[in-house]
Amino acid sequence: MAEVIVFHHVAGLTDGVRSFAERLRAGGHTVHTPDLFGGETAATIDEGLALVDRIGDEELRSRGRAALAGLPEALVYAGFSYGSAMAQRLAQQRPGARGALLYEGCLPLTGDWGTGPWPQGLRAQVHGMDADPFFALEGDLNSAREIAAMVGPDVVEVFTYPGDQHLFTDSSLPAYDKDATALVIERSIAFLDSLG
């Protein structure tokens, strides 16, 4: 059994994020879903980005760190889109990480958005649609593939799904893709099971 913390996307802790987390729990894992927006949700990505701007990145990072209080170091960090950046940084920089599940987002290791070196042996999966304008066309997919090439595809697995939807794993949003999400869940649970 793995213990997982899931960081939501810019639309907030939606029913779809909660449902996804519940499906991971049904696989036998402990899953925490902190609400970094304090109960607020957004109907669109643009509204969500405005909400992020209003709260502020520094405050959101602080809330993310606060969500770790009382949790063990041996966590799997998961996140959707905006939340994947927080999950990736914590997995790379907080001691004891067991793994990372990055949905529809992946930061580069270097440059302005760089997260620094990839920890030796840190296993991860990255999932996203192959024509998603945010994930595939803004560089996240390339970042994921570069990390996998550097550390090995047995350490970092990159999975793409046909389509151009962002936040396709959220059953409460119009972009939801039921079949692709079922495969994401299956692969995620297999990953968590493999951690022992």
133-153: per-residue pLDDT in tens? 999 999 999 999 999 999 999
182 Cβ neighbours under 8 A, 6+ residues apart? none
Beta bridge partners of 161: 129
Report DSSP state, residue 44. Answer: S
- Residues 6 or more apart in contact with residue 176 via CB below 8 angstroms: 16, 165, 167, 168, 169, 170
Cβ proximity of 75 and 57 under 8 Å: no
Integer Cα distance of 33 and 21 in angstroms = 7
Beta bridge mates, 24: none
pTM: 0.96
Q: Which fold has domain 3-194?
A: Rossmann fold (3.40.50)
Q: If residue 3 lies in a helix (H) or strand (E), which one and from where to where? A: strand 3-7
Helices 82-93, 57-66: axis angle to 10 degrees equals: 60
Let me know: does 144 contact 121? Beta carbons within 8 Å: no
Closest CA to 159 of 133, 172, 140, 176: 140
**Whether residue 4 has pLDDT greater than 90:** yes
**Sequence spans of domains, the chain:** 3-194
pLDDT digits (tens, 9 = 90+) for 171-191: 999 999 999 999 999 999 999
Over range 19-39, report the average pLDDT: 97
Instruction: State the burial class of residue 78 (Cβ atoms within 10 Å of its Cβ: 0-12, 13-18, 19+).
Output: buried
pLDDT of residue 112: 73
